[in-house]
Amino acid sequence: MKERFNASQVSKVIDQSLVYQCACPAQVCRAIFELRELHEYQMNCASDSVNDAVVHNTIALATEKAHELMEDCLARILDIEGWNMATLNMPETLKKKAAKDL
């Protein structure tokens, strides 16, 4: 499955989001990881029949589409919030906002 963000990058967004109580990007990242796990499971699941193979391939294809949408969503969220796309560092304004809300 094609990945726009690698596991390390997704984890970095989650970590910063949780530290600064900014849950929305973290929720999208967790969904991305869950979709990757689902896809891997479908690709490795034993198929005892042609029907099983069709079921697994159908789920894998849908997962790939959902994964692409969620990665696009993450990129858009990070852009809207002003994250540094090169380093995936949260902008200072979000850190201050989250700290102020605590």
Residue-wise pLDDT tens digits, 55-87:
999 999 999 999 999 999 999 999 999 999 999
- For residue 99, pLDDT over 70 is answered with no
- For residue 46, pLDDT over 80 is answered with no
Into how many domains does the chain fold? 1
pLDDT, residue 100, reads 58
Within a domain: 2: no
- Domain of 70 in residue numbering reads as 7-94
- For residue 18, pLDDT over 80 is answered with yes
Within a domain: 29: yes
Task: Locate the DSSP E strands across the chain.
Answer: none
Within a domain: 102: no
Rounded Cα distance, 18 and 1, in Å: 27
CB 90 within 8 A of CB 22: yes
Within a domain: 55: yes
User: What is the average pLDDT across 76-99?
Assistant: 88
Within a domain: 40: yes
Query: How high does pLDDT run on average in the chain?
Result: 90
pLDDT band, residue 101 (cuts 50/70/90): low
Rounded Cα distance, 1 and 31, in Å: 15
Q: Which residue has the higher pLDDT, 18 or 27?
A: 27
Within a domain: 101: no
Q: Which of 39, 81, 79 is nearest to 58 (CA)?
A: 39
